[in-house]
Structure 1
Amino acid sequence: MRKELAALLGAAAMASTLVMGLPATASAVTLPSACPKDLILPVPQTLKATTTVNLRSGPGTSYTAKGSLATSTKFEQYCSTYKSQTWDYGKVLSGANKGKWGWVADSYLKY
């Protein structure tokens, strides 16, 4: 059943790429090597910031802040990594940093 579902999702993703000319899955995007391959989402998830939170160059507070996401800013999650807390990698979809890619602490994001 899982293989059939994966094949169906893959076909749908490919069809949406051909129709819209947009990347349909995380594999269509160059992800950093820090993204564990088993934690890359088959389909990106859209999340919202629950408070103002930094967008970082890597998965941790020791990495440079590239900007911030205000409350309710949309963020498209492509993968997660686990260190002392969970960090999500993706693209900012709205707000002042729209279009930027980076890492956000998962505890400040919700579905």
Structure 2
Amino acid sequence: MIKLLKNKKGSSLISTIVAFAILMMGIAAFTTAVVTSLKVSKDAESVRQDVQESVVKYYKEEVEAEATPVISGDIKFEDGKGGSFSISGSKAYRYYDKDTKVGLYYFK
């Protein structure tokens, strides 16, 4: 025990500065990730509100969609991961809200 107390070795100033620099890089990376996440979340909320406003306007105000279908016949949807489904013999119509710049599609 006395031998440990007499040991004057400790961390040097350089090793302390290096450890602090590594800690600061970690904090900077974490802060960047949080700020980016908050920005993406804010953008997604804005898009969700625009879509919600367009849907409410479409159903409550009974606005007219395009008279002619934009797609007719067999319609196939793919998810990009190999999954898909199709709707046979239907027509897709489009409603575009000029205020929110959102396009809604519906099928008959």
Instruction: Specify the structure having the higher radius of gyration (Cα).
Output: 2
Name the TM-score class by shorter chain: under 0.3
Q: Which has the higher contact order (CA 8 A, sep 6+)?
A: 1
Which structure is higher in strand share?
A: 1
Give the TM-score of the pair, scaled to structure 1: 0.27
Which structure is higher in helix share?
A: 2
